[in-house]
Amino acid sequence: MELFDLTGKVAVVTGGTRGIGLMMARGLLQAGASVYVSSRKADAGQEAVRELEPYGVATFIQADLGKESDCLLLAEEVGAREEAVHVVVNNAGATWGAPIDDFPAAAWDKVVDLNLKAPFFVARAFLPLLEAGATGEDPGRIINVGSIEGLRVPEWPTFSYSSTKAALHQLTRHLARDLGPRHITVNAVAPGPFPTKMMAAMLESEGDAITATSPLGRIGHPDDMAGVTVFLSSRAGRNVTGAIIPVDGGIELTT
């Protein structure tokens, strides 16, 4: 359907080799875009490209986005291949859990660097490429992956994770206001539980209890994340900016 068609568009998905990032990359490919995915690990990148191959053209670029230099390198590598980029998805992230008395400073630094600083540096690095492909009628898109843990107080001692996700939501709004005049929309999705490696152990031990907290009685499916990504990236979502969209079956409303 033309309203959701991304044929000819170029997208970049950081942390796009597994979990929610892979779901988003798959959705963009199915809508017709070509997609670059990044990860720290080369073997994960090649495996993801093989998994995505049935859906379209995916290219892997290795980058450790906890370093500003690699945020710049990622944009340079894509820019060497493309004249413009239409969608940038900031999905790369990390988490850490520990009691307050034992929570290490290094864990704060790691999570802040990847969850909060990297989305800013990636967005800034890609601005020339986004502007090259953007118009008033078809703006460039930045999609940040937040979390419902940035909208509520988590039950678990993931202090740095929830704090950085809440900050990322605010950064999304700030960037949306700043970049709107440059024909770029900035939105965030706030996923709830999805079947990812990060959630695997928790879903195995508490899956039924977590599902019971959802008004819809379910956890996320890969299509749910693919769908919201395509909406925000396509003509259907071109007038949406500064939004934080929970994709959680309503769990955030009940906890």
Q: What is the pLDDT of residues 34-57, one digit of tens each?
A: 999 999 999 999 999 999 999 999
Number of domains observed in the structure of the chain? 1
Q: What are 8-23's pLDDT values in tens digits?
A: 999 999 999 999 999 9
CATH number, position 65: 3.40.50.720
Cα–Cα distance, 59 to 46 (Å, whole number):
9
Question: What is the pTM assigned to this prediction?
Answer: 0.94
Instruction: Note the pLDDT tens digit of each residue in 51-92.
Output: 999 999 999 999 999 999 999 999 999 999 999 999 999 999
Instruction: Give catalytic status of residue 55 as yes or no.
Output: no
Q: In this prediction, what percent of the chain has a pLDDT beyond 70?
A: 94
Domain that holds residue 45: 2-254
The DSSP code sequence of 106-161 is HHHHHHHIIIIIHHHHHHHHHHHHHHHH--SSS-EEEEEE--GGGTS--SS--HHH
- On whether the CB atoms of residues 19 and 51 are closer than 8 A, the answer is no
Q: Which of 161, 175, 228, 234 is catalytic?
A: 161
Q: How far apart are CA 162 and CA 167, in angstroms?
A: 9
Neighbours of 14 (CB within 10 A): 26
